[in-house]
């Protein structure tokens, strides 16, 4: 089922409408002001970056990465892996499990409370 985007001709609010099929008509009543005239917009689409693209854009851990480097949780795991490797130490299994779980979308218990 496609989702169409519209802009209200009266209040200029942007809204989306779920349409049952490509051939059916959409109910284009503005949810904000109730006007029935709206123009259909060209929708944007989502682009999912590969892990390689994310790493290239983030830079290497420990280098001049900028203030946003650690806002991406994936980079925290990368920095921990690099630190253990540089120190010639094996990463403890518990930390390895936490990093792998975070990469699969599971937050540590301390962050879910």
Name every residue whose Cβ is closer than 8 Å to that of residue 82 and which is 6 or more positions away in sequence: 60, 61, 62
Is residue 56 domain-shared with residue 29, that is, in the same domain? no
Phi, psi of 55, deg, nearest 5: -65, -40
Q: Give residue 30's domain range.
A: 3-40
What are the residue ranges of helices labelled H in 1-113? 51-58, 73-86, 93-103, 109-112
Is residue 100 domain-shared with residue 63, that is, in the same domain? yes
pLDDT at 81 over 80: yes
In a domain, 33, yes or no: yes
In a domain, 111, yes or no: no
- Which tokens hold the place of 46? 């989502």
Is residue 35 domain-shared with residue 70, that is, in the same domain? no
Q: What is the pTM of this model?
A: 0.41
Is residue 71 domain-shared with residue 35, that is, in the same domain? no
Tens of pLDDT, residue by residue over 15-66, are 988 887 767 677 789 999 999 999 988 877 666 777 777 767 766 766 556 6
């Amino acid at each position: 089922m496609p989702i169409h985007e519209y802009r209200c001709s009266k209040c200029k609010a942007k809204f989306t409408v779920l349409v049952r099929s490509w051939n059916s008509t959409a109910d284009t009543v503005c949810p904000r002001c109730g006007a029935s005239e709206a123009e259909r917009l060209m929708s944007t689409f989502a682009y999912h970056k590969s892990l390689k693209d994310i790493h290239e854009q983030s830079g290497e851990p420990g280098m001049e990465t900028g203030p946003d480097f650690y806002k991406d949780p994936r980079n925290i795991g990368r920095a921990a892996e690099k630190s253990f490797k540089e120190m010639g130490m094996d990463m403890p299994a518990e930390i390895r499990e936490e990093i792998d779980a975070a990469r699969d979308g599971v937050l540590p218990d301390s962050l879910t409370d």
